[in-house]
Structure 1
Amino acid sequence: MTMSELKREQVEEMSAVELAYRVLKEKGEPVHYKDLFSKIAQVKEIETDQLDDRRAKLFTDLNIGGSFVHLGANHWGLKAWYPVDQSEEDLSRTIQAPTQNTESEDNTEGTDDDLEDIEDELDALANEDDAESNENNEFDGFDSDEDVENEEAEDDEG
């Protein structure tokens, strides 16, 4: 019996996990979680204010349920579709998220170099500031030539 053939009473009695199993079995291929949940929410007529709670509960139930397998990139399938000797790690790599093209990777490397250059410049400026402050500290307690002249002028007046 397909999802569309189910009566309203049957749908109300079924859990979201049971419906997820039926959806996946009917499709016969992995389904993105968003699409899976949308189909279940539509069939069960879940109210808008309950969607977030139900979405989280279904996700947890799929993870716990022994009939389902996460295939990567948020796609879910039935364990029965895959050989027993395939581990869950192998299955999680079945569907990969789209990767960035190599041009962006090259640009990223250039960005890293630019950041390192900026970092080096900031270090050099900080070292210059440290050197200047150390130079000023070395002469603390010593009068400058101007101070000495002012003191001599005061002594001459007095």
Structure 2
Amino acid sequence: IRSLYLLQAWDKLGEKISILGPWGGESGQAWALGPFHDTPFRLLKITVWYGNAVDGLQFQYELGGDGVIIDSPLYGKNMGTSAEIPLVDDELTVIRVGPGVGPDIIAALTFFTNNGLFYGPYLRERGKKLKVELNGSIAGFFGHASNHVYGLGIYMKPK
């Protein structure tokens, strides 16, 4: 897993955002989903597809706070087993990322919420894993994907 990067930025609403990652590699196409809108953004659900690696991620979010629900594009492929992570009443506060056979693929993911729930691990965690405990909540994700999710990073809203 590559080194942890931490950058500070601001979303279009003027709120401070921390950018952490990416972990994994840079193969495939770059993508980003997060707080880049002129209206509030809230994650509602994550769908993870996994087999021998994390094959795909898709997100459902509310934009604008007025009930407009949007499904993101699928990042990667919808192969293998799928699992849904409901976030309607929870915020993600911790993520654990596990490397694959090589350093350039995400092979395991676990998500933890502010209400003490956890989802995963999706796949077997092997080797050195990285657990990121946040002083805030996850506001979005970015990464690289094509046939699998090769790299993953997070946008965090500090408390």
TM-score range, shorter chain: under 0.3
Structure having the larger proportion of residues in helix: 1
Question: So what's the TM-score if we normalise by structure 2?
Answer: 0.20
Larger Rg: 1
Question: So what's the TM-score if we normalise by structure 1?
Answer: 0.20
Structure having the larger proportion of residues in strand: 2
